Structure 1
Amino acid sequence: MSELTTDICVIGAGSGGLSVAAGAVQMGARVVLLEGHKMGGDCLNYGCVPSKALLSAGAKAHASGQSPTAADYLAAKDHVAATIASIEPHDSQTRFEGLGVQVIREFGRFIAHDKVQAGDTVIRARRFVVATGSRPFVPPIPGLKDVPYLTNETVFDLRDRPDHLIVIGGGPIGLEMAQAHRRLGSQVTVVEAAKALGQDDPDAAAHLLDRLRGEGVDIREGTAVTGVSGKAGDITVALGEGQSLSGSHLLVAVGRKVNTDGLDLHRAGVESTRTGVKVGTDLRSPTNRRVYAIGDAAGGMQFTHLAGYHAGVILRPMLFGLPAKARADHIPRVTYTDPELAQVGLTEAAARKAHGDALTVMSQPYSGNDRAIATGQTGGFAKVMVVKGRPVGATIVGPQAGELIQVWALALANGLKMGAIAAMVSPYPTLGEINKRLAGAYFSPKLFESPWVKRIVRLMQRV
């Protein structure tokens, strides 16, 4: 057993852990990075990257107007693999060792307040960062453990196109995989116990679900799965009241479980809950101040870009002793279906509950945008929730919603007022004009419907 001492020990080489390691070592800190599985974590290998690559392949097949073949599915999977391979070097052990990070390819677990063991090595550090991410949650459905099922960690390994893919879960992951497979020629049924996209704006979710159903995705809401049976290629899902559904493949996409159960956090005096490490707004454990947690491990929203943001937050106190606090009101989220659905800040329902009569909601349809008209992409809308001249949330459903939401993410992050968006000059014609028009619509009643403005204008015309 060997022992080494370092300034920062990062546990987990996903998006957040890699960001901490790269930033800290390049600013002069000694860094040890532990990873017992794949460099790049879930995002590169099983999540953001492969799912967007598969969606892109599905979109191209859909745009061709021709019935996709088994060969198209194979080509799509080759595209997924090539995409991962292209990005892999950026997250590789070789690159990080080149930066000066000591990388140990073993899982880490705490053995004391200031020590972690990884394989045959004990690491003593001034600061520890838990960046272990999450894995698919597999619900205790009767019979599920006895049949072959897919999760986001295994679905991208398929080489033969599913004849009929049954998806349990109507959240972003489930619907993204449903649309991609439908566009690549599979029959697809989504089973959701409550409301599909239940955390999103109901009008935006309805618009998206209508599009998916229009493409042939069977979405069954308010339908609980009571059991699973069968074998590879012939799986039956029981839906209760004597109803059932049969398909060739089953994908479980009902949520995520944080990877903290193997860390022995109690041996370091670190408190945790079922959702992750218990931390304050500084992302630091209140019971062991040596330990920080970021990304999924911090118990909040589970997004790659949130983990990257958390990395930037904790580098300030760890390297410079400066105070820093994480916030979540400005973190955007996107469902990358076609159309995309993007949200930042409060939804309309949450904003009404929080602000009541002080809330103003502005909405603009894509059909009023010249670029959308020119490209034949007029479905969808954008809305912004405003309180006392400042946006508190925005929802966009339609083409490139994930790109368009960034203006509102910038506004919420920096406390910008609607006037800042209205003053922006958008190139014409672009979809981005939708955001500027939203801001303009907020001021229109004040300018065009105010009797005082009209009186002043008439008076000035006499001067």
Structure 2
Amino acid sequence: MAQGDRIDLCIVGAGPAGIAAAERALARGLRVVLVEAGEFGGVAHNWGALPSQALAAAAERADHIRNARNLGLGTDEPRINFARINARIRAMIEDANATVSPEHLVGQGVEIVKGRARFTGPATIEVAGRSIKAPHFLLATGSRPILPDIPGRDGVPFFTPETIFELTRRPSHLIVVGAGATGLALAQAHLRLGAKVTVVEMLEPLAGEDSELVDIVLRRLRAEGLELRIHTGIVSIAGGNEQVALDIKAGPDEERIEGTHLLFATGREPDFEGLGLEAARVRMQGARPALARFGRTSNRRIFLVGDAAGHVGVHAARHSAELAVDAIAGSAGAEGLVPHVVDTSPAIARIGMTEPEARARFKDRFEIVRIALAQTDAALARAERHGHAKIILDDSGRVVGAGVVGPTASELVPVFALAIARKMTLSELGGLVVPYPSFAQIIPLAAAEYARGHPGAAFTGWRRLLKRLLP
């Protein structure tokens, strides 16, 4: 695209949301400029979700080796080589670069401008000495780690979730501050790779998640050897090279814990540094711009998507970006159901309403069906008994929400998403023929459990299904 050509959409940020937006815009026939100051693929690709999954995969293999006796095999403690793990992660990222590289995007028809963008007015940005004017802007600038203000913090070396992959030697004792989804996933990975790990959390671990599902994860983590300090504040930090000490306080009691490495996983905040949103006349609401539907800001030319808009997870970021582009192109559809996933082992995945949300909407006119994954033959065969499904139904038996904790949670939850979207009853969903043996057996098992308390449910469900299918 020549510099003088008309631009329909200027995207700032080439992470998952920005790239998804660019590809969607091209499919809608829009002329696109994509601005990026750093690495293409963003945090998720280079320092976040992708390397985290690779680290977790190595840790899971180590755990399988360590516990092979559960399957009747002889076991030895796995030999961990952090340098090789790190090298494999970097190589894997390089292999994945093909789909997020500037060359790939240029080949599709996206104009790339490298540099830091700054709004100079409501419809203009300046980047790399060039002024870009467009009818619409889409901001996909991502987020950055939040670092707690603790006395002594700046005097000790520490890691964030973006820098922890620089480790080439196994930490003897990793102290993780923060028991959210990222903190616990990284803590468990290092634990399984042979490090001693202590997690310190001021509040509840995995706050905001269903405590019923969280309890299963925490029991597993503690059984694996994780030391978890909750309702614990940090008074101060001290230390030096591979020597860190935290003075902590739980209630009136104070003590000191010592480790070799420190990781802060205390949340993220949107990254608007240097963007000049005030010049763009964007009204703020706390740390983020006030947003209307599809991420539109108070400046109707400007949309905010992805992590910067509070959409957690690559899949959620991409979805928000595609919806925003559809709105810009005048073909906006309904917002889809977005799964929420916690990548511990076992993982947590949920969709639709939570129990508190169902109680607020339906009062006592809803029902919960619970099934342990241990009831499936797949769990017995694979020696994977840690898991639980919680399905929320309205008073007509329709699925309105579901949460699964277990080894295949993220693969199971889309089935419940489809049921919610199609307004299916649990009885209708139970009519699915699932492979044997598989963890998907929880679906017919849950339907059978529901039918025991509702004798007419199976017939009603099939009648509804036939009515929908027949002309």
TM-score clears 0.5: yes
Q: Which residue of 2 aligns with 1:455?
A: none
Q: Which residue of 2 aligns with 1:370?
A: 377
Q: Which residue of 2 aligns with 1:152?
A: 161
Q: Which residue of 2 aligns with 1:45?
A: 46
Q: Which residue of 1 aligns with 2:324?
A: 314
- Of 343, 347, 350, the match for 1:343: 350
The reply to whether residue 255 of structure 1 matches residue 267 of structure 2 is yes
Aligned residues: 444
C-alpha contact (below 8 Å) 1:161/1:186 kept by paired residues:
yes
Q: Which residue of 1 aligns with 2:438?
A: 430
C-alpha contact (below 8 Å) 2:12/2:139 kept by paired residues:
yes
Cα deviations by residue, 1:150-185 (Å, 9 ceiling, x for unpaired): 001100111111111000000111111111101111
SS in 1 for 2:125: strand
Aligned partner letter, 1:377: E
The reply to whether residue 294 of structure 1 matches residue 284 of structure 2 is no
C-alpha contact (below 8 Å) 2:311/2:320 kept by paired residues:
no
C-alpha contact (below 8 Å) 1:260/1:277 kept by paired residues:
no
Aligned equivalents of 2:222, 2:130: Cα separation in 1: 54
Quote the RMSD (CA, aligned, Å).
Answer: 2.0
Aligned equivalents of 2:8, 2:47: Cα separation in 1: 31
Shift of 1:318: 1.6
For residues 202-241 of structure 1, the aligned pairs below 5 Å read 202-240=211-249, 241=253
Aligned equivalents of 2:414, 2:90: Cα separation in 1: 29
Q: Which residue of 1 aligns with 2:463?
A: none
For residues 101-250 of structure 1, the aligned pairs below 5 Å read 101-240=110-249, 241-250=253-262
For residues 27-38 of structure 1, the aligned pairs below 5 Å read 27-38=28-39
Shift of 1:269: 0.8
Aligned equivalents of 1:358, 1:269: Cα separation in 2: 46
Shift of 1:444: 3.2
Shift of 1:436: 3.0
Aligned partner letter, 1:359: F
SS in 1 for 2:403: strand
Aligned partner letter, 1:383: K
Assess, with a 3 A threshold, how the Cα gap between structure 1 residues 82 and 436 changes in structure 2: closer, same or farther. Answer: farther
Q: Which residue of 2 aligns with 1:13?
A: 14
Shift of 1:51: 0.5
Q: Report which stretch shifted further, 48-57 or 270-279.
A: 270-279
C-alpha contact (below 8 Å) 1:108/1:117 kept by paired residues:
yes
- Of 386, 390, 395, the match for 1:379: 386
Shift of 1:414: 4.1
The reply to whether residue 80 of structure 1 matches residue 81 of structure 2 is no
Q: Percent identity?
A: 34
Assess, with a 3 A threshold, how the Cα gap between structure 1 residues 404 and 323 changes in structure 2: closer, same or farther. Answer: closer
Q: Which residue of 2 aligns with 1:461?
A: none
Assess, with a 3 A threshold, how the Cα gap between structure 1 residues 423 and 34 changes in structure 2: closer, same or farther. Answer: same
| TM-score scaled by length of structure 2 | 0.90
- Of 382, 391, 397, the match for 2:399: 391
Assess, with a 3 A threshold, how the Cα gap between structure 1 residues 219 and 312 changes in structure 2: closer, same or farther. Answer: same
Q: Report which stretch shifted further, 89-98 or 387-396.
A: 387-396
Aligned equivalents of 2:122, 2:392: Cα separation in 1: 46
Aligned equivalents of 2:414, 2:236: Cα separation in 1: 42
Shift of 1:70: 4.8
The reply to whether residue 352 of structure 1 matches residue 359 of structure 2 is yes
Aligned partner letter, 1:375: R
Aligned equivalents of 1:419, 1:111: Cα separation in 2: 58
SS in 2 for 1:268: coil
SS in 2 for 1:415: coil
Shift of 1:305: 1.0
Aligned equivalents of 1:353, 1:143: Cα separation in 2: 44
Shift of 1:412: 2.8
Assess, with a 3 A threshold, how the Cα gap between structure 1 residues 232 and 34 changes in structure 2: closer, same or farther. Answer: same
For residues 245-284 of structure 1, the aligned pairs below 5 Å read 245-284=257-296
